[in-house]
Amino acid sequence: MTSKEDGFDPTKLCAEAKQKYNACFSRWYRKSFLDMGRPGSGEGVCQVEWNEYERCIKLMLKKRKLEHLLEEQAKLEARVGKDSR
């Protein structure tokens, strides 16, 4: 049985949260980032939207028993960080 056959469509589960984050990021990019006269204007921008999207993704992975992927990613990032020093 495929994901779509069992009613699980990962592209739709977090679509609303992703759309909110993308809209926020696009607004910031157009209004602030492209305006070079605003140094540091990206600090904390869209953090609420990002956190909501990230929470949704983590919940989706947990429901599908795939949270081990996040753990492996964290290990990889830690290893790469140590190697780049």
What is this structure's pTM? 0.68
pLDDT surpassing 50 at residue 81: yes
> Of 49, 29, 50, 32, which is closest to residue 41 (Cα–Cα)?
32
Do the domain assignments include residue 67? yes
Q: What is the mean pLDDT of the chain?
A: 81
- Greater pLDDT, 34 or 13: 13
User: How many Å apart are CA 57 and CA 46, to the nearest integer?
Assistant: 17
Q: How many domains does the chain fold into?
A: 1
Percent above pLDDT 70 for the chain: 73
Two structure tokens written together for 73? 């990613």
Two structure tokens written together for 63? 């429901």
pLDDT surpassing 60 at residue 28: yes
Residue 52 lies in domain: 10-83
Do the domain assignments include residue 5? no
Do the domain assignments include residue 3? no
